[in-house]
Structure 1
Amino acid sequence: MLSRVKDTIKKFRMLSKGDTIVVGVSGGIDSVALLHMLTGLAEECKLSLIVAHLNHCMRGRESDRDEGFVKEIAKRLGIKCICRKMNISALARKGESLQDVARQARYRFFEEAADRYNADRIATGHTMDDQAETMVMRFLRGAGLSGLSGIPPVRGKYIRPLIDTTREEIERYAAVHGLKFVKDSSNKSTKYLRNKIRLKLMPIFDDYNPNMKIDMARLARILSRDEDYLKNKTKDFYKNLVARRDANTITFSLKKLRNLHDAIKARIFFIAVEELLGASKGFYSCHIEDFLELLSNKLPNISINLPGGMVLYKEYDNVTIERGQGAKGARSQKSGLPLQAVSRGAKSQEKKANISFEQELKTTGKTNVVEGKGLKIAELKAEIINCDSESEIQAPLTLILSHKGRGKGEGVAYFDYDKLKLPIVVRNFKHGDCFIPLGMKGHKKLQDLFIEKKIARRKRSLIPIIISGSEIIWVAGIRQAEYGKVEAKTKKILRIEMQEQTRTG
């Protein structure tokens, strides 16, 4: 068995001479056997070992017994030992799996220990049995290729030297070397899914295929190779797909996304989620199906609520994944929405935003446009310019941008000041708004303008609408109106510049 473990270490390049290794030791047979083997290799490979044990405080005196046992082993071997107590039950939120919370806390503890002692590796005692159980558990939960790849032999600093070794082999090794270890009484409880799989399901599989663990380990390697290839291909595509990126949103080109294979699209989705949330935990195949359906749907505006406070939008030519307020670290249950509900979701998102603002625009100086809850909508700067022989502006008509091609995001508009009715007001878009666009004679609904310019529904309420009297004179950044336009006889010009605007997605 020791030779196989050495082969595993060599095959996956787990160790280098002179490495410092944090060894996670629970006191159970797997971790005790791992520590024993690494101790035997320490002199040969010039390794420095540090034992790390987290007392989860979940089994009362038994947890304290385990901690004491690990300390005693480390003392006997002359190895530095780091132990910490953590009340996992107190840490867990309602509905969370204690096992998941304990595992996350344990890994954080290992990583802190590695950082503190500048360790090169963190070794854990995962075995071939753990690999098979993990694959079955993920299969039952509907995992994809990545999940079914199982436990990686090496992930960052983490190494699993026993991953090609069965528990039965470890038991024989412990017996031959007279290794003492402790038994976790909770391992017999079938209230935990992993235990239920180990105690109830795996024996049934063994009846059908006695070599199932070996075959599943082989399958995990095959799937892992395929997954690595697809991940690398996805990263190549991902760079060219991102149209816009900020702290809370990632926007993709819909056309480019649609041209990709579904396998790549699914991985694009997970990369974006992980960039925004730091992890993709809580996202499942049902969310991938929602994402793929959204991409193929012909409706121009669709939204889907995702776990972790995230929202997925398809808006004309773009697809945006947005992290909502408080999304970081948020926990969510599985949730996939049928597309019939998705198409209604876009309207519900707009109602939810409930953006409303109306205030007077200063004709000289800056106006910070702020909605009722304190959200800054835009910053507008206005000035009045006289058109005379002493002014820089002697021919007002040169200031009029052609109406052809307008809507490309002009941030400046010019008006004949004497035609305007004061006060000038800036407010949010309201349903039914209409105006006469510059260069046209008939009225146009703003809603039609937004559709024409492919302005996403949820962003429309964030666009400042500039009003003089009862007339809309500028849909800021998009289109100026015919009313109040500059002409050859204009004597005084009001120049308005939108210097800053809130962007979503």
Structure 2
Amino acid sequence: MEKLVLQTIKKRQLLEPGDKVLVAVSGGPDSLCLLHLLHKLAPALQISLHIAHINHGLRPEAAAEAAAVKKMALQMQLPITVRRLDVKRIQRQQQLSVEAAAREGRYRILLRVARQIGAARIATGHHRDDRVETLLLRLLSGSGLDGLKGIPSKRPLAPGIEVIRPLYDVSRRQVESYCRRNHLQPLYDPSNKQPVYLRNRVRLHLLPFLEREFGPQIRRTLARTMDLLAADSSLITAWTKQAYAAAAETAENGQLVLKLDVLLALAVPLQTRIIRRALWQAGAKRITYQHIQQVLAVARSKSPAARCFVPGKIIVQREYNRLLVGYSEAEHFSGQQRVRVRLPGRTYLPWSKEWLEAEIIPRSRLTSLQAGPNAAYCAADALEQELYVRTRQPGDKVRLLGSPGSRKVKKILIDKKIPQHKRDRLSIVTNGEDIMWLGGIEIAHAYRVTPDTKQVLHLQIKSG
């Protein structure tokens, strides 16, 4: 087992000497096996470990699981960070399933902790059987090549931070056998046995059926298929980047623009990939096959002003020989909007016809924390993977710099005698879902720059 994991780490270049690794440990067999193995291999790999445990608060066993992981950290003499995740809040705010909301919040917390402790790698316990299950799930849902290649052995989560999967080539049976041999006592999630979840039906019914009908080697065969698909996908992704560079440009108002003469001259698979990339860059999430087809229909339409809407408040509209992706103009303002902040770079704010400039600078470069009008300095050490700028939402609350507690944004704006039309077009910068800055007013107290701050986010709103 140790030899196989070492081969995976070397072959797939998952770790380097000197790496600090944040190990995500739930208390289940996969993560306990991962932690035990990495702890055993750490001297040879010349790495240091830090445990992260996230309490999702969804099951009665959550507190016992957190206590068990803390106990193991104490036995191994490893540092540990425990965080609680409000899954239902994320589910409600982003309209996600419980599973998707848990995953979204989990990686958000892991990224924050990794930044706080200076870890360049986040290790998770995904193994070969997880990959095979994912392949079958995506095959059943009608995924394309990028979906069928399955879970990667590593992926960037943010600049300088990667998620790695050292158990990538290890089977579930090997994991369970390792736990028994080393007298580990994993905690089992009873929901993993409930057939209400599609993944569980694949694990409990479909895969055993395939093994009975086609032999026990089927899991290994499917894993090898995913490796082949991943190699093909990386080549096509490189072609897509080249084609996207030729087809895409940025308009004066900050929108993404696709040149239709270039786009429609490409092979259809490249067209769909370019459209998916453009939608993602504009801020769309959970992009489906149907969304791509809607955009393709607009691109091929004979109407010079055809348009469609994509979830995420994204407008795609044709303007003669161009395809505009994003918020076309301020007249499309419909009360609430949100766009991803380009960091570093300029982000167009369609509700106010202004620009937000953002960059991260070392704290040592600052001689003063007075940022000037319509500008702010925020601590950047605990930023999320994505920053957003948006208009205000009902119920927004924030504790401003120096304030004794949180207040409703609506009340803050009223007290400052800001006119209604300006309130509706106020730009609010958020770190994930947390408010960082009320544009032109004040930063949140939680993001103040302190003597311990190492990186500073400089924000400035400009017109024209």
CA contact (8 A) 2:19 2:48 kept: yes
Write the letter of the residue equivalent to 2:33: A
Distance 1:276 1:134 in 2: 27
Please give the residue correspondences for 1:320-359 in structure 2 after superposition, counting only pairs within 5 Å.
320-323=324-327, 326-328=336-338
Aligned residue in 1 for 2:177: 172
Q: Which residue of 1 aligns with 2:225?
A: 219
Structure 1 SS opposite 2:323: strand
1:366-405 alignment runs, 5 A limit: none
Match of 1:101 in 2: 101
| Matching residue of 2:37 | 37
Secondary structure class of the residue paired with 1:180? coil
Distance in 2, Cα, partners of 1:52 & 1:192: 26
1:191 partnered with 2:204: no
Match of 2:242 in 1: 236
Is the CA contact (8 Å cut-off) linking 2:21 and 2:123 kept in structure 1? Answer: yes
Any idea what the Cα deviations from partners look like across 1:259-294, whole Å, max 9, x if unmatched? 1111111111121122111xx532111222223333
Q: Any stretches of 5+ residues in structure 2 without a counterpart?
A: 157-161, 341-350, 354-462
TM-score by length of 2: 0.68
Q: Which amino acid aligns with 1:160?
A: R
Change (3 A) 1:117 1:29: same
Partner of 1:269: 275
Change (3 A) 1:137 1:247: farther
User: How far did 1:67 drift?
Assistant: 0.3
> Residue by residue, what CA displacement relative to the aligned partner does 1:225-259 show, whole Å, maximum 9, x if unpaired?
11111111111122222243367521111111111
One-letter code aligned to 1:83: V
Counting matched residue pairs gives 333
Contact 2:55 2:83 (8 Å CA) reproduced: yes
Q: 1:75 to 1:154 in 2, by over 3 A?
A: same
C-alpha deviation, 1:327, in angstroms = 4.8
Correspondences of 1:86-485 after superposition (within 5 Å): 86-93=85-92, 96-156=96-156, 157-209=162-214, 210-245=216-251, 249-277=255-283, 281-323=285-327, 326-328=336-338
Instruction: Measure the CA separation in 1 of the matches of 2:114 and 2:296.
Output: 40
Name the stretch that deviates more: 192-201 or 241-250: 241-250
Q: How far apart, in 1, do the equivalents of 2:48 and 2:9 lie?
A: 16
Aligned partners of 1:22 and 1:50 also within 8 Å: yes
Q: Taking structure 1 as reference, are residues 222 and 281 closer, same or farther at Cα in structure 2, changes over 3 Å only?
A: farther
Contact 1:262 1:292 in 2 (8 A): no
Q: Give the equivalent residue in structure 2 for 1:16.
A: 16
Letter in 2 for 1:256: V
1:164–1:247 CA distance, 2 compared to 1 (3 A): farther
Instruction: Structure 1: state its 5+ residue gaps.
Output: 331-373, 377-501
Cα distance in 2 between the residues matched to 1:257 and 1:43: 52
Distance in structure 2 (CA, Å) of the matches to 1:329 and 1:124: 30
Residues 222-231 or 247-256, more deviating = 247-256
Q: Distance in 2 between matches of 1:24 and 1:272?
A: 32
Q: Cα distance 1:291–1:127, how it changes in 2: closer, same or farther (>3 A)?
A: same
Residue identity matched to 1:96: L
Q: Does 1:67 align with 2:61?
A: no
Which amino acid in 2 is paired with 1:80? P
Aligned to 2:435: none
Change (3 A) 1:247 1:203: farther
CA gap 1:281/1:180 in 2 versus in 1, 3 angstroms: same
Matched with 2:424 is: none
- Alignment partner of 1:4 is 2:8: no
Alignment of 1:492-503 (within 5 A): none
CA contact 1:305–1:311 (8 Å) conserved in 2: yes
| Closer/same/farther in 2, CA of residues 83 and 151 from structure 1, 3 Å limit | same
Higher alpha-carbon Rg = 1
Residue number in structure 1 paired with 2:440: none
Aligned to 2:390: none
Question: TM-score, structure 1 length as denominator?
Answer: 0.62
Distance, in Å, in 1 between the alignment partners of 2:152 and 2:255 is 30
C-alpha distance after superposition, 1:460-491 (max 9, x if no partner): xxxxxxxxxxxxxxxxxxxxxxxxxxxxxxxx
Report the alpha carbon displacement of residue 171 of structure 1 after superposing the two structures with TM: 1.0
Q: Is the 8 A contact 2:85 2:106 kept in 1?
A: no
Q: How many Å separate the matches in 2 of 1:206 and 1:275? A: 41
Provide closer, same or farther for how the CA distance between residues 90 and 287 of structure 1 changes in structure 2, counting only shifts above 3 A.
closer
What are the superposed Cα offsets for residues 313-359 of structure 1, whole Å, 9 maximum, x if unpaired? 123211111247545389xxxxxxxxxxxxxxxxxxxxxxxxxxxxx
Q: 1:100 to 1:33 in 2, by over 3 A?
A: same
Superposed CA deviations along residues 354-413 of structure 1, whole A, max 9, x for unmatched, are xxxxxxxxxxxxxxxxxxxx988xxxxxxxxxxxxxxxxxxxxxxxxxxxxxxxxxxxxx
Matched-pair contact (CA < 8 Å) for 2:20–2:47: yes
CA contact (8 A) 2:285 2:311 kept: no
Q: Distance in 2 between matches of 1:72 and 1:375?
A: 53
Alpha-carbon distance in structure 2 between the residues aligned to 1:217 and 1:241:
35
Counterpart of 2:88 in structure 1: which amino acid?
A: S
Relative to structure 1, the CA distance from residue 91 to residue 300 in structure 2 (aligned partners, 3 Å threshold; closer, same or farther) is closer
Supply the distance in 1 between the matched residues of 2:120 and 2:238 (Cα, whole angstroms). Answer: 25
Asked if the contact 1:142/1:284 (under 8 Å) is kept, the reply is no
CA contact (8 A) 1:127 1:167 kept: yes
Residue pair 2:90, 2:105 contacting (<8 A) in 1 also: no
**1:169 Cα deviation after fit:** 1.0
RMSD: 2.3
State the distance in 2 between where 1:19 and 1:41 align: 13
SS at match of 1:92: helix
- Tell me which amino acid in the other structure corresponds to 2:217: N
